[in-house]
Amino acid sequence: MENSKLLKSGEFLVCETNANAVFIPEEFNEEQKMIAQTCKDFLEAEVYPNLETVEKSDREGMKSILQKSGELGLMGISIPEELGGFGQSFVTQMLVAETTGAGYSFSVAYMAHCGIGTLPIMYYGNEDQRQRYVTKHATGENIGAYCLTEPGAGSDANSGKSNATLSEDGKHYILNGQKMWITNAGFADTFVVFAKIDSDRVLSAFIVEAKYPGVVIGPDEHKMGIKGSSTAQIYFNDVKVPVENLLGKRGEGFRIALSILHMGRLKLGANVIGAAKKAIDDSVKYANERKQFGTLISTFGAIKHKLAQQVIRTFASESAVYRVSADIDTLMEKMKVECGDYGRAATESISHYAVEAAILKVVGSEMLDYVSDEAVQIFGGMGYSAETMVERGYRDSRINRIFEGTNEINRLLVVDTAMKRAMKGDFPLFAEAEKLWTNIENIACEKAVDEDYFGEKQRYIKNFKKAILLCIHGASTTFGKNIVHEQETLNNIADMMMETYVSESLALRIEKMGNMQSDISLYKNILDVNIKETANTVRQSGLDAISAFCTTDNCNILMNAIDELTKTQCVNVKEARRKIADKLIADNCYKF
């Protein structure tokens, strides 16, 4: 990648990025491709043939598959070599998350172990804790789980009632409480458990072994989807946790939980890409086999529209995923030099991109819902049959909008975090917004004389950002501190921000591809359709936001500004989609 300024989280709103400075999937090296292929081979050999069995609440069956992945080294991708892993880059970790995302409920169990079940110990544990636990997690000898949610504490994690009290001899914390929706609960060996010590206001974190007396695992929940992953409640009844198993410092649990949630959101953004590509493969293969009225349904325009949209949304999400992943790698290397600790460097770098993490989580989960829903529709009646993989994929997809903080919470985080970072002085969001606002009556989107194809797209994206800034300025000045109660307006602004970030990532990717290969006409079709759809989202969400805060005096001026900033050149989106679908149909699988 070409050196350039490393943007802070949310700074994309006021800065432009050079295409040569972003990482794109077309740049994966041979080692990364080999690791991805190993993951694909594992799914084919060990996961798909056993899905029916493990989805009948076969806890030991799923644990066995997980351990086999550990034997292959797949559980040690993100773990340093000195702890028994392979110490791969964040980009490679995201590629593994993507590839295993095609593994249905196995993917959930695998990601829970490798992510939230292991990384809190690796990032925040001391050397003794890392040697005792992370080394065994790296090989699959032990399986990990993460215990945060309680019956009365979901999105409001810090309101949990679980409690720990130091024993009289000072050697143990006596842990009591109840956790729910715990992935891998039925077969995990270690749990990262969050509880308050005595009357503390904030959480602390503990490493708890399943074999400790007083740890009681409930039966697996009966779920809509991801049936093969063990999800159960866990009860802690006077569990003696050695004091040396306090993770991090006392009262640091909430910080640990938040940083791990940021990581989980990023990894989920990659995970859903693999699931989407699997659903697209199933969709096109069926469309190329199924005949109606004596004709393959893949020749029908309505089916081509669906196939093309599946590709467009997946390809766009993927572009954003690897753009921010490479930024995290760059920051992580810088942080490692500065602080000398791998764990701290990782958590600081991942938490730094909180805005983008929330974007990837929401955009990715909603993209997969769309793709899996259309897969069922393409299959028609067969898509509703449990005999097909698309039926399983449809059910499994739904949890992603709830995992790692609901999409409602994450939409609010997108705007709130960006504004708070700007208030701290990370980037001049409000100053740029004020400049636009004072000149709002003269906003015009003139085309440059020498504007080329990508120059045109960059102009559109820059205009979308201006529309966002106007809405942020209008909402923040009108509502002041009460803006936190205006969730509908914040959601409008979040949708504008999310779609604009993804469109910019897509445009940068395709522009860079143009420097690497001669013919990118098909990818320009993807970008053309995406930009039109983003313009529509920015316009509608912008107008909805304005209607909530504008006055009679400035309403028309604001609406005209939004209209002007979301104008785009007319594009034959029907033909663009048909060309995209035709490639997919010819390849009979996703090869974009």
CATH number at residue 226: 2.40.110.10
Same domain, 315 and 380: yes
* Burial of 567: CB neighbours in 10 Å, binned 0-12, 13-18, 19+: exposed
Distance of CA 164 to the CA centre of its chain: 33
Residue 364 lies in a domain: yes
Do residue 391 and residue 518 come from a single domain?
no
What integer is the mean pLDDT of 417-444? 90
Q: Is residue 517 part of a domain?
A: yes
Mean pLDDT across the chain, nearest whole number?
94
pLDDT score of 341? 81
What does the pLDDT read at residue 276? 98
Choice among 55, 356, 374, 404 that is catalytic: 404
- What CATH number is attached to the domain comprising 81? 1.10.540.10
Per the CB < 8 A criterion, the answer to whether 411 and 494 are in contact is yes
Query: Residue 49 domain-assigned?
Result: yes
- Domain assignment of residue 2, yes or no: no
**Same domain assignment for residues 380 and 394:** yes
* Same-domain pairing of 359 and 311: yes
Handedness of CA 143, 148, 152, 156 (dihedral sign): negative
Residues 558 and 473: beta-carbon distance below 8 Å: no
Q: Is the alpha carbon torsion for 134, 138, 140, 143 positive or negative?
A: positive
How large is the average pLDDT for residues 494-515?
Answer: 97
Q: Cβ distance 367 to 314 under 8 Å?
A: yes
Q: pLDDT digits over 157-208, tens only? A: 778 899 999 999 999 999 999 999 999 999 999 999 999 999 899 999 999 9
Q: What pLDDT is stored for residue 1 in this prediction?
A: 35
Q: Residue 353 corresponds to which amino acid? A: Y
Whether 465 and 579 map to the same domain: the answer is: yes
Do 444 and 575 belong together in one domain?
yes
Q: Specify if 52 maps to a domain.
A: yes
On whether residue 548 sits in a domain, the answer given is yes
pTM for this entry: 0.95
Structure tokens at 423: 């208030």
> Which CA distances in Å does 107 have to 77, 112, 229, 365?
15, 8, 9, 15
Does pLDDT of 450 surpass 90? no
Q: What is the pLDDT of residue 300?
A: 97
- Range with the poorest average pLDDT among 445-449, 506-510, 566-570: 445-449
Co-location of 338 and 403 in the same domain: yes
* Judgement on whether residues 168 and 122 belong to the same structural domain of the protein: no
pLDDT digits (tens, 9 = 90+) for 256-295: 998 999 999 999 999 999 999 999 999 999 999 999 999 9
SS (H, E, C) 17-69: CCHHHCCCHHHCCHHHHHHHHHHHHHHHHHHHHHHHHHCCCCHHHHHHHHHHH
Instruction: For residues 209 and 315, state if they share a domain.
Output: no
Task: Pick 130 or 442 by higher pLDDT.
Answer: 130
**Helices (H), ranges, 297-441:** 301-339, 342-352, 354-379, 389-397, 407-423, 429-438
Are residues 405 and 370 located together in one domain of the fold?
yes
CATH of the domain at 306: 1.20.140.10
| Number of domains observed in the structure of the chain | 4
Q: What's the pLDDT score for residue 153? A: 77
Catalytic: 289? Answer: no
Among the candidates 142, 167, 188, a domain finishes at 142
Looking at residue 207, what is its pLDDT? Answer: 98
435 Cα distance to chain centroid:
33
Q: Render pLDDT for 40-65 as a digit per residue (tens, 0 to 9).
A: 999 999 999 999 988 887 889 999 99
Q: Which amino acid is at 6?
A: L
Shared domain check, 92 and 62: yes
Which of 247, 275, 305 lies at the terminal end of a domain, its last residue? 247
Residue 282: exposed, middle, or buried by beta-carbon count in 10 A (0-12, 13-18, 19+)? buried
What pLDDT sits at residue 3? 42
**Residue at 6 is within a domain:** no
Print the domain residue range for 162: 146-247
User: Is 50 exceeded by the pLDDT of residue 315?
Assistant: yes
Residue 4 is predicted with a pLDDT of 60
Burial of 301 (0-12, 13-18, 19+ CB in 10 A): exposed
Bigger pLDDT: 446 vs 134: 134
DSSP calls for 525-591: HHHHHHHHHHHHHHHHHHHHHHHHH--TTTHHHHHHHHHHHT------HHHHHHHHHHHHHHHTS--
Same domain for 233 and 314, yes or no, is no
The domain boundary, picked from 247, 263, 279, lies at 247
For residue 414, being part of any structural domain is answered with no
